Amino acid sequence: MRDLTGKHKDLDIDSMPNVTPNGIPYDYYKDYYKDYYKNFNKDDNEDMTASDIQKLMEMYMSHPSPRPLSPPPLKEKREEENARSLSLALGIGIPCLILAISALVVGYFLYRRWKRKQRARSIYASSVPIVVNQNIYSKPLCGALSGSSENTDLWALSRKDLEISYEKKLGSGAFCNVFYGRIIGVAPICTVNPNLISTSRFKDCEVAIKMLPSFADDMARSDFQQEINFMKSLNYHPHLVSMLGYVVDPKNPQLVVEFCSKGDLLHFIRDKKHEIVHAYQNGTGLRIRDMLSFSWQISNGLEYLTSVGCIHRDIALRNVLLDESNTCKIGDFGLCRLTDNLLYTARGGRLPLRWMAPESLRSFEYSFQSDVWSYGILLYEMFTFGEVPYGAVDNAEILKFLESGQRLEKPDFCTADIYAIMRACWEENGAKRPSFSHICTKFVDIIENAQPDYGYVQAAAADLGEI
């Protein structure tokens, strides 16, 4: 039981009366004040003794009259405080997190923009050409951008010595426009290469002028200047479109190159298809033997590019031009890269998927061997008179098609020896593909042994009436 004198004995709680002298149920004390006392006077892991409970009971039994007891609702108060703290943390944390993410995104785009500007500035202001070989002719834009009135770049051409016919657009694309024009006087290439046999050709001559569209950004200008620098570094070659000079202008640079009156080889071959197919019957016009000559000329130009360490990356009939004497010239050096390594890894950009080797499609890796693969696709274009490679295959399925071992089929007007060159170019293992020197030699042998009816005998079974 309990001792009212204040001396405590063991208390059997279950045997206590239901109601205290002041009228408050013992169960109220047992259930409520046990928790109250425990929270404020005992460790959480310690139970109350009967003496502890009796102390509380005696304290409240001494009240003169019954009254409801309202000790602080501790559990509810703690839950309320925890909820308030959580709401405060979320109210502050979420906006701060959103601000931090926004700052990171804005910072990333500002950094990208800054890098593009730095790249453009380094190319325009550099005093050393981007590409280097045995002929270092230039110090890019050294006079015009530095504020000097004297331009020491031998390749530089004054704007007054260049006539541009803007009404005669030769070509256009997402990255440049090409116009017909004329050079007044001697082209700068004659000063750079005084021993050039074709010097007389480049005086008061027709030219093509390549320039950027008005909406070009810093990256496009940087790439265009890189193309100019690349072309400066090349020797004159009969099977490359040669640079004749350029107009120095940081806002509107203009690249001046040879004019090829018959346009690109892709459209030329398509237009001449009927003439070539029926040439043996008619005894006149272009023949398949002429296509052999085109194939050799292109491989000869690519052999030179390989010898100076150039990976072209965009070998296709559309990028080969034809002059008035049916001389093929490789052009469009916008994707060209000079490298001392055997492998070049690109970082994206516009890509000619249907002309790319499997390793380039898989991981954007380019090499001299990947150029050989593309040359094999060019041969297919040539002997199909300009058909699109893998015409029945979607772009997304080309790699799967090639990895399954399938290849383009032999065209009707393609001999077995030409198709053998194509298949050699399309070896899965790049190391097994022939070099351009070897391809040149093969074409020389084929041309020397080709008869006037070369290519027509095996095509006789084709339905010429549908061609």
| Domains identified in the chain and CATH numbers | 156-258 (3.30.200.20), 263-341+350-464 (1.10.510.10)
Closest CA to 381 of 441, 460, 291: 291
38, 32 Cβ separation under 8 angstroms: no
Strand order in the sheet with 243-247: 162-172, 177-183, 206-211, 254-258, 243-247
Q: What are phi and psi of 171, to 5 degrees?
A: 180, 160
Distance CA 4, CA 75 (A): 32
* 412 catalytic residue (yes or no): no
3: pLDDT confidence band, cut at 50, 70 and 90? very low
Distance CA 374, CA 353 (A): 10
Which residue in 52, 314, 332, 371 is the catalytic one?
314
Q: Is the pLDDT of residue 299 over 50?
A: yes
Q: Is the pLDDT of residue 189 over 70?
A: yes
Comparing 340 with 431, the larger pLDDT belongs to 431
Closest CA to 58 of 31, 29, 87: 29
- Which two tokens mark 297? 């000329």
Q: Give the residue-averaged pLDDT of 152-169.
A: 93
- Which two tokens mark 43? 């460790």
Distance CA 157, CA 207 (A): 13
339, 328 Cβ separation under 8 angstroms: no
50: pLDDT confidence band, cut at 50, 70 and 90? low
Cα 171 from chain centroid (whole Å): 24
Nearest-10 Cα torsion for 297, 374, 365, 231? 30
Comparing 53 with 222, the larger pLDDT belongs to 222
Distance CA 280, CA 287 (A): 7
Residue 188's CB is within 10 A of a number of other CB atoms, namely 23
Check residue 281 and give its pLDDT. 78
Q: Give the residue-averaged pLDDT of 334-338.
A: 66
Comparing 394 with 133, the larger pLDDT belongs to 394
Q: Report CA torsion sign: 77, 82, 88, 90.
A: negative
- Digit-coded pLDDT (tens) for 101-155: 988 888 887 876 666 555 444 433 333 232 333 333 333 333 333 334 345 789 9
Closest CA to 207 of 157, 252, 137: 157
pTM more than 0.85? no
Residue 120's CB is within 10 A of a number of other CB atoms, namely 19
Average confidence score pLDDT of the chain: 77
Distance CA 66, CA 22 (A): 5
443: pLDDT confidence band, cut at 50, 70 and 90? very high
Cα 308 from chain centroid (whole Å): 25
Give percent of the chain above pLDDT 90: 46
Write the Ramachandran bin of 81: left for phi over 0, alpha for psi from -120 to 50, otherwise beta.
alpha
The one-letter amino acid at 236: Y
